[in-house]
């Protein structure tokens, strides 16, 4: 691959990973590419991480045409590895399409990431639960406030080192508030795209949940406000009578890579996994009668986030004994084990950067 490389004068001092707040520290370099109607995507390059010069009329600032991805690089035995990165670039293209934005060559995008990671290999931390968070993003750059799909776009990949999110035993628990007033997404809308606007529009409900003492929102569907969709920025799973359940993808749920991976390897391990339309009352009943023994979120950031308590229609319910359950623990250990090559990668999900 012939990727233009612009070297920076001086490298940054690397921070103490234990002291870094998530998403606020970035590495020395980034991938950059541009799109216009004549040239398509062009000028892929690795350049110093530095401010962009954007006109006040830049389309993304007004009409929010922006989609992103999130994945992680891990350090294993001195080598940098990725987990199913091709899934993220496939989803990026699906998101781009939904937001009337131009698709990007998935291989070229992934190759540019790999070149970037080779240069930034010393930024990949190697402690337990630590990783280099990878943020591909595409946004509209036309200098026009006419309400039209932009005719110019920018693609960036930036990198941010992240420490372990959880306590030293690897997994903590979280409390969830079921939102029955605000709606995140609806069929026919943009809920299945990793669209920036889905995150902005979710923040108010998230703030209210925090004020009530809950760390995440459980979203219900936009039509009937009765069916489970997502939890915060994660997919949701639960264990009922020893079987796994997760809401079926319906156009308003984000198709998570962690979600997909859990379904695939849990089935391989002999679990029955149901992708269903799940009514909140059925779910609540299962919590009340004890048949639902575990609930957890699943996503790139936390991998698995066990839920200790759920507030449903104003009533707080404890999940099982309120501790991390055995299925969540097995899934977390297996997934992080595969990601860090401590568990056999029988699905060939781990990609080495070399």
The answer to whether residue 203 forms part of the interface with a second copy (CB under 8 A) is: yes
The answer to whether residue 15 forms part of the interface with a second copy (CB under 8 A) is: no
User: Judged by CB under 8 A, which stretch of 95-103, 165-173, 257-265, 326-334 contacts a second copy?
Assistant: 95-103
**Cα-flanking dihedrals φ and ψ of residue 17, to 5°?**
-55, -30
The answer to whether residue 63 forms part of the interface with a second copy (CB under 8 A) is: yes
Q: Looking at beta carbons only, is 82 or 157 nearer to a second copy? A: 157
- Nearest distance in Å: CB 232, a second copy: 8
The answer to whether residue 165 forms part of the interface with a second copy (CB under 8 A) is: no
The answer to whether residue 52 forms part of the interface with a second copy (CB under 8 A) is: yes
- Nearest distance in Å: CB 105, a second copy: 21
From candidates 156, 249, 317, 350, binder to a second copy by CB under 8 A:
156
Q: Which two tokens stand for residue 97?
A: 């399409």
Q: Looking at beta carbons only, is 97 or 276 nearer to a second copy? A: 97
User: Judged by CB under 8 A, which stretch of 10-18, 117-125, 129-137, 262-270 contacts a second copy?
Assistant: 129-137
- Nearest distance in Å: CB 63, a second copy: 4
Contacts of 127 by beta carbon, 8 Å cutoff, 6+ apart: 17, 163, 164
The answer to whether residue 170 forms part of the interface with a second copy (CB under 8 A) is: no
Contacts of 224 by beta carbon, 8 Å cutoff, 6+ apart: none
Q: Is the dihedral of CA 297, 302, 308, 309 positive or negative?
A: negative
d(CA 42, CA 154): 10
The answer to whether residue 250 forms part of the interface with a second copy (CB under 8 A) is: no
Burial class of residue 236 in the structure, from the number of CB atoms within 10 Å of its CB (0-12 exposed, 13-18 middle, 19+ buried) = buried
The answer to whether residue 201 forms part of the interface with a second copy (CB under 8 A) is: yes
Q: Is the dihedral of CA 53, 57, 61, 66 positive or negative?
A: negative
Contacts of 87 by beta carbon, 8 Å cutoff, 6+ apart: 257, 260
The answer to whether residue 254 forms part of the interface with a second copy (CB under 8 A) is: no
The answer to whether residue 30 forms part of the interface with a second copy (CB under 8 A) is: yes
DSSP three-state, residue 197: helix
User: Judged by CB under 8 A, which stretch of 96-104, 107-115, 270-278, 306-314 contacts a second copy?
Assistant: 96-104
Q: Any idea which residue has 């809308």 for tokens?
A: 189
From candidates 36, 108, 126, 144, binder to a second copy by CB under 8 A:
144
From candidates 187, 269, 285, 354, binder to a second copy by CB under 8 A:
187
The answer to whether residue 55 forms part of the interface with a second copy (CB under 8 A) is: yes
Contacts of 146 by beta carbon, 8 Å cutoff, 6+ apart: none
Q: Which two tokens stand for residue 348?
A: 């060939």
From candidates 222, 256, 320, 325, binder to a second copy by CB under 8 A:
222
Q: Looking at beta carbons only, is 263 or 280 nearer to a second copy? A: 280
The answer to whether residue 190 forms part of the interface with a second copy (CB under 8 A) is: yes
d(CA 203, CA 165): 21
The answer to whether residue 99 forms part of the interface with a second copy (CB under 8 A) is: yes
DSSP 90-113: HHHHHHHHHTT-----HHHHHHHH
Which secondary-structure segment (H or E) carries 332? Answer: helix 326-339
CB atoms within 10 A of CB 134: 22
- Nearest distance in Å: CB 19, a second copy: 15
Among residues 307, 148, 134, 151, the alpha carbon closest in space to that of 232 is found at 307
Distances (CA, A) of 153 to 44, 84, 187, 194: 13, 26, 27, 17
Q: Looking at beta carbons only, is 169 or 224 nearer to a second copy? A: 224
Residues that bind a second copy (CB under 8 A): 21-24, 26, 30, 49-57, 60-66, 68, 97-100, 133, 135, 137, 139-140, 143-149, 156, 158, 160, 181-184, 186-190, 195-201, 203-204, 207, 222-223, 225, 233
């Amino acid at each position: 691959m012939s990727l233009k490389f612009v070297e920076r004068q001086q490298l940054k001092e690397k921070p103490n990973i234990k002291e870094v707040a998530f998403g606020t520290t970035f590495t020395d370099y980034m991938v950059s590419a541009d799109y216009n109607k004549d040239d398509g995507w062009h000028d892929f390059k690795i350049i110093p991480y530095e401010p962009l010069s954007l006109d006040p009329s830049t389309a993304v600032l007004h009409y929010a045409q922006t989609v992103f991805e999130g994945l992680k690089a891990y350090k294993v035995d001195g080598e940098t590895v990725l987990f199913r990165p091709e899934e993220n670039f496939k989803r990026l293209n699906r998101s781009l399409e939904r937001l009337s934005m131009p698709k990007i060559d998935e291989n070229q995008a992934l190759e540019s990431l790999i070149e970037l990671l080779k240069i930034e290999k010393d930024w990949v931390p190697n402690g337990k639960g630590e990783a280099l968070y990878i943020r591909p993003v595409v946004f509209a750059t036309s200098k026009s406030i006419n309400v039209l799909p932009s005719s110019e776009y920018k693609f960036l990949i930036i990198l941010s080192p992240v420490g372990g999110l959880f306590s030293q035993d690897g997994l903590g628990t979280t409390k969830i508030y079921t939102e029955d007033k605000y709606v995140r997404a609806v069929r026919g809308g943009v809920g299945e795209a990793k669209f920036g606007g889905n995150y902005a529009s979710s923040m108010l409900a998230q703030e209210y949940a925090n004020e009530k003492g809950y760390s995440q929102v459980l979203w219900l569907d936009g039509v009937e406000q009765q069916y489970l969709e997502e939890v915060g920025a994660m997919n949701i799973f639960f264990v009922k009578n020893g079987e796994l359940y997760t809401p079926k993808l319906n156009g308003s749920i984000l198709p998570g890579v962690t979600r997909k991976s859990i379904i695939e390897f849990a089935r391989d391990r002999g679990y029955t996994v149901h992708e269903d339309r799940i009514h909140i009352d059925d779910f609540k009943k299962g919590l009340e009668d004890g048949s639902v023994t575990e609930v957890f979120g699943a996503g790139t950031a936390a991998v698995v986030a066990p839920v200790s308590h759920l507030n449903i229609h104003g009533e707080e319910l404890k999940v099982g004994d309120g501790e991390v359950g055995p299925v969540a623990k097995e899934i977390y250990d297996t997934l992080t084990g595969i990601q860090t090559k401590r568990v056999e990668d029988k699905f060939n999900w781990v990609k080495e950067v070399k």
